[in-house]
Amino acid sequence: MFFRSLNLSALNRIHQKFDLRGYEINELAAIAAANENMAEIVNTTITEPLASDKKFDLTFTKGVLIHINPEKLNAVYENLYTLSNRYIMVCEYYNPSPVAIEYRGHQDRLFKRDFAGELIEKYNLRLLDYGFNYHRDPYFTNDDKIGRASCR
């Protein structure tokens, strides 16, 4: 099995001196990411309070919130907000109202909603930018359903 932190790799390629921290629930993926020596990797779940010993200019999720049980979303939102001293970015499936989608034959494993809107309302944030990934983009080949929003 091969694990690679593509998000951390992308940030590291932009600037190797970024102070990066990643949270990974999968122990093998956390070990693999730590071995890449580009970020501090913490093997834990983001549905529990995370140590806020340090704040970062940017906190973000990409394809993570869609798999969090809606009952635990507020804890994750709190972590994103508490660890950020400037920006929060979410790159997740979007739907104007919450909906659960069958995922690989399972129920209650994938959820679409307005994650950014919920963060904006909960913490009185300001929307800075939004968009979506396009399936024809040669560099980031996701489908058109993944939305992105940046808040402050």
pLDDT in tens, the chain (152 residues): 456 678 888 888 899 999 999 999 999 999 999 999 999 999 999 999 999 899 999 999 999 999 999 999 999 999 999 999 999 999 999 899 999 999 999 999 999 999 999 999 999 999 998 877 666 666 665 655 556 666 66
56 close to 30: Cβ distance less than 8 angstroms: no
Strands (DSSP E) found in 13-126: 21-24, 40-43, 56-62, 84-93, 99-103, 106-112
CA atoms within 13 A on the CB side of 95: 11
Give the predicted TM-score (pTM) of the model.
0.85
CA-wise closest residue to 49 among 87, 84, 82: 82
